[in-house]
Structure 1
Amino acid sequence: MDRLVKAEVKELELHFQKNQKCSSTFKLTNLMHTMTVAVSLTTTNPSAFSINKPLSVIPPLSSASYVLHLSNLNQPPLSDSADVITVKTSMLPTGKANTEDLRRLFNKPGPHVFRDAVITVALVGPSVAEFIISKYDYAAQTRSLFTKGISVCAKADLTSLLKPAVESGSVDYVADLIAAGGDASFEDLKGRSLIPLAIRTGKLDVLKLLVASGCRINDSVDFVLHEAAVLNRIDVVKFLFDYFGDELDVNSMNTESKTPIHMAAMEGHVSVIEFFVSVGGNPNAVDSQKWTPLHHAASRCHLKAVEFLLEQSDVKYARDINGKTPFEIAGESGHTRLFGLLRYGDALLRAARVDNVHALKKCLGEGAEVNRKDQNGWTPLHWASFKGRIKSVKVLLEHGAEVDCVDDAGYTPLHCAAEAGHLQVALVLIAHGGCQTNLKTFQHVSPLGSFKKHVSLDYYNKKSETIA
């Protein structure tokens, strides 16, 4: 004899719902023609599962229904091995027995007890699938649980599950849901697509799958370039431009009137800023607080971003809604490294021109770049040399000024001193290595040639040999 009873199912599906009692019914049939059968039902997880009739009696050739209950839980009781209901039976010649008699019968081991069936408990429904997405990496065993979990889900449930699946960054979960009928073109009540969620995960393969499955963007609410800019994802930005083309506006503004360049500047992502500018992005745009990208980069001390924006924009002195420039914003945040770029470079040039040694030293002490050039390529040393400010020349040289630095026209500070006839300044420059006396300017005039208008060459040669 193989068995006394037959189970109606090998697998019992239990539709799990959070914080609700769940149940499912199954049936056992007595295969004996003349003998009553005693039945014992146990579960591998009695703390979660219970059966309404764990001990019972089935008359000959009759069937009995049983209900498996799941406790009121906030998450499905999933385990490495599936939970099961074990069906044990024993013949009952008397045809009758009370609960205590049945308990003694099955507690006593021996050949009188048969193990007739093992029924697997399968938890199904969107709550199960969502829990698996949130807790488990995608693997062979996980996939089996997941595909079983979504097997009873309607199209609306599958589509709703796409959001947590995309947020998980698992292309496999997303692919399974789409294959089962989930709609990748889903938009929420505000018209937002799934693409921003995919970008935030940083998984380009998820983004590509969604787009290939019909997901489209609504850039007025999705702000996909803003999302990619924050994460410094040039690859995502290029993919979006390649696929959506004219649907994207590189100067689109989010709810705070920030453009993608603003977002990249806030994070100091220079390569992203460069790309946006190269495709028409406006580095001078202002947000709702009238902050330019330069304001944002300065506020967070993103030195490279500040340098690039200064080269691309003309908003160095732009003021925000409170009348503050990027320099003032940087100052309030204590970012003294930016002072030379944002303002002290200008102050240094002014101090050099008027020979204000105190201001010169103050600027240099607070981070001004001693070799910072103006719009014509003149450094503070060019200006001090041209104006004959010998004190300033010496201070600048002591602080590392490049004595042979050339401007946009090829002039060195020595050229400037010579053209203006400042002999003593020229001699100081020469003493500090300013030796490019043969360098021609755009007028083909050398420093030596310029001095012929002011002093004798013999005197110049003599002084240049003796000066310290």
Structure 2
Amino acid sequence: MDRLVKAEEKEVGLIFKKGQRCSTSFKLTNLMHTMSVAVYLTTTNPSLFSLNRSFSIIPPLSSSSYILLLSQPSDQPPFSTPADVVTVRTAMLPTGKAHQSDLRRLFSKPGPHVFRDAVLPVSFVGPHVAEFLISHHTQIPECGSLFKKAISGCAQSELTALLRPAIECGNEDAVSALIDAGADVNSRDSNEISLINLSVRAAKMDVLKILLASGCTPNHSVDSSVHEAAALNRVDILESLFQSFGNNMDINSVSSEGRTPIHMAALHGHIEAIQFCLSVGGNPNVWDHNGWTPLHCAASEGHLKVVECLLECSNVKYGVNREGKTAFSLAVDNGHSHLLDLLQWGDALLRAARLDDVHGLTSCIAKGAMVNRKDQNGWTPLHWAAFKGRIKSVKVLLEHGGEIDAVDDAGYTPLHCAAEAGHLQLALFFISRGSGVNLKSFEGAFLLNSESLNKDIPLDMSLHQHKTKA
């Protein structure tokens, strides 16, 4: 005979609760048709676990229940490797009756009369165990198998509640296990915010993919998923959201402060997120409730690349917020001197060059204006001074590092500009300073060269495109 009794379960599942004396019951059934069986139960860790009775008698074909007690309350489940077990030993009892002392003597002597019928591992189950494993999954060996056992003792509402800590921890294995066990992926919190939003806030792309594959949907009316992703510069998350819900995603939705995702990306200096938002229709000119545009946000934090990007696509460079401050003013207030040329002094320098305002030029340069910064058409201040024939300004700019052969977007230099506008003496001045004389010209135009100048040949440098700039 292989065994005398049968355990109803392969493991003893103990529902663990923080700081409480926890207990569970398990059942043994006598397989003998005519004879009672004596039972002796032991645990591998008697200091931690206790049984309501170690010795008992089970009548023929009857069952008996036993209680396993966790006698030492703790704040975390006392896992052990290998797992603690309850060992079931049995012996036939022909008389059907015996005192406890008789049973002790029966099992104290090893021999063929004693059977080892079962070894039942003790597993910890319930939401407290699952939550502990979620937060410690990187520290506990075989966490995955322990977690599946733990949630086997959870109701659906408990499984759903566990999704949130699993998502926040980025534990994709736990998220998958909970969903497979019946957790509701479209549950909402007290503010009706979805699990999609929670996964984005936690910046867990793998978790987001699991949720999307499981049919989880955002609550577009209250979720801030796009704002959260933009603030984190998670372009991969933004792309995934728009691929899944593009028709319902509003890239220009505003937060409680009136800020768009572009505001959030600008505030944190995330140019990649801004570029994505622009690519799907983001508006860089939105004003929040305090009158701040994304440019104000970027300037206040000193984000150079973001400021450059926004200046290329927005038209609010000199817009003022509710305090009457421009982006330039905010940069000054916060000591971001590296932005001042971009936000104001560069424009002032170009204006001074056009007007031949030598004092204005020197003042702007002293304040940090970049002599060779280009405008939207690629013209430097020297291009403008040359086109306007401003010889004084040309000299000041060259003295302060102006690049004499700087080329604009079409490949033309200040010398071309002077020639186009008919400023012969200024053209000669550029040549005397070493400006290249055989540079690119428009189709059908004469090449400017020193021989033609010496012979007073009229100059025809048809820069018609640039005339419209003046």
The percentage of counterpart residues that share the same residue type is: 55
- Report the 3-state secondary structure (helix = DSSP H, G, I; strand = E; otherwise coil) of the residue aligned with 1:121: strand
Give the match for residue 463 of structure 2: none
Aligned to 1:51: 51
Q: Report the 3-state secondary structure (helix = DSSP H, G, I; strand = E; otherwise coil) of the residue aligned with 1:288.
A: coil
Q: Please list, as runs of the form range in 1=range in 2, the aligned pairs for 1:245-264 lying within 5 A after superposition.
A: 245-264=246-265
Partner of 1:277: 278
Alpha-carbon distance in 2 for matches of 1:130, 1:21:
19
Paired residue secondary structure (1:195): helix
CA gap of 1:362–1:216, structure 2 versus 1, over 3 A, is: same
Following superposition, the deviation at residue 426 of structure 1 comes to 4.2
How far is the alpha carbon of 1:259 from its aligned partner? 0.7
- Unaligned 5+ segments in structure 1 are 459-468
Which residue does the alignment assign to 1:17? 17
Distance 2:265 2:10 in 1: 57
Partner of residue 239, structure 2:
238
Name 2:464's counterpart in structure 1: none
Q: Is the 8 A contact 1:43 1:50 kept in 2?
A: no
C-alpha distance in 2, partners of 1:260/1:38?
A: 69
Verify: 1:194 aligned to 2:195, yes or no.
Answer: yes
Residues 90 and 341 of structure 1, relative CA distance in 2, 3 Å threshold? same
- Identify the residue that residue 465 of structure 1 maps to in structure 2: none
The superposition leaves residues 254-296 of structure 1 with CA deviations (integer Å, 9 ceiling, x where unpaired) of 1221111112222333233223223221110111221111112
Whole-Å separation in 1 of the counterparts to 2:109 and 2:425: 115
SS in 2 for 1:222: coil
Number of residue pairs matched by the alignment: 450
Structure-2 change in CA distance of 1:146 and 1:456 (3 Å) = same
The alignment status of 1:223 with 2:202, answered yes or no, reads: no
Q: For 2:444 and 2:347, locate their aligned partners in 1 and report how far apart those are by CA, in whole Å.
A: 28
Letter in 2 for 1:211: L
- Aligned-residue offset at 1:311: 0.8
Find the counterpart in structure 1 of residue 465 from structure 2: none
**Greater shift after overlay, 108-117 or 128-137?**
108-117
Q: Judge conservation of contact 1:371–1:380 (CA < 8 Å) in 2.
A: yes
Range that drifts further, 177-186 or 280-289: 177-186
The letter of the residue matching 2:159 is L
Deviates more, 1:357-366 or 1:326-335: 357-366
State how far apart, in whole Å, the 1-side matches of 2:185 and 2:137 are: 22
1:164-223 deviations in Å (ceiling 9; x for gaps): 233333443222222222221212222211111222344444323323322222222112
Structure 1 residues 376 and 86, CA, compared in 2 at 3 Å: closer, same or farther? closer
Q: CA deviation at 1:87?
A: 4.1
TM-score scaled to structure 2, two decimals? 0.80
Q: Unpaired segments of 5 or more residues in structure 2?
A: 458-470
CA distance in 1, matches of 2:43, 2:64: 16
Contact 1:11–1:121 at 8 Å: present in 2 too?
yes
Counterpart secondary structure, 2:12: strand
Q: How far is 1:80 from its partner?
A: 3.8
Cross-structure match for 2:67: 67
Q: Is the 8 A contact 1:21 1:69 kept in 2?
A: yes
Is the 2:160–2:185 contact (alpha carbons within 8 Å) kept by the matching residues of 1? Answer: yes
Tell me if the contact between 2:4 and 2:31 (Cα under 8 Å) persists in the aligned partners: yes
Q: Relative to 1, partners in 2 of residues 1:136 and 1:47: Cα closer, same or farther, differing over 3 Å?
A: farther
Matches within 5 A, 1:45-444: 46=46, 48-53=48-53, 55-56=54-55, 58=57, 65-70=65-70, 71-87=72-88, 95-96=98-99, 111=111, 115-137=116-138, 141-353=142-354, 360-361=361-362, 363-364=364-365, 366-374=367-375, 377-386=378-387, 390=391, 392-406=393-407, 412-417=413-418, 425-436=426-437, 440=441
2:325 is matched by which residue type in structure 1? K
Aligned AA (1:297):
A
Alpha-carbon distance in structure 1 between the residues aligned to 2:35 and 2:325: 97
Displacement after TM superposition at 1:348 (Å): 2.0
Relative to structure 1, is the Cα distance of residues 244 and 38 closer, same or farther in structure 2, using a 3 angstrom cutoff? closer
* Structure 1 pair 408–152 and aligned structure 2 pair: CA distance change class (3 A): closer
Please report how far the alpha carbon of residue 421 of structure 1 lies from its aligned counterpart in structure 2 after TM superposition: 7.1
Q: Secondary structure at the match of 1:73?
A: coil
The range that moved more, 263-272 or 35-44, is 35-44
CA distance in 2, matches of 1:207, 1:416: 56
Normalised by the length of structure 1, the TM-score is 0.80
**What displacement does 1:25 show?**
2.0
More off after superposition, 330-339 vs 65-74: 65-74
Relative distance call for 1:180 and 1:347 in structure 2 (3 A) is: same
Match of 2:316, SS state, is coil
138-147 vs 70-79, greater mean Cα deviation: 138-147
Bigger shift: residues 295-304 or 423-432: 423-432
**Contact 1:35-1:95 within 8 A present in 2 as well:** no
- 1:213, 1:34 → 2: CA distance? 54
Kindly indicate whether the alpha-carbon contact (under 8 Å) linking 2:127 and 2:150 is maintained by their aligned counterparts in 1: yes
The answer as to whether partners of 1:414 and 1:447 remain within 8 angstroms in 2 is: no
Q: Do the aligned residues in 2 keep the contact of 1:30 with 1:63 (CA within 8 Å)?
A: yes
Once the two structures are TM-superposed, the CA of residue 135 in structure 1 deviates from its matched residue by 1.4
CA distance in 1, matches of 2:439, 2:55: 113
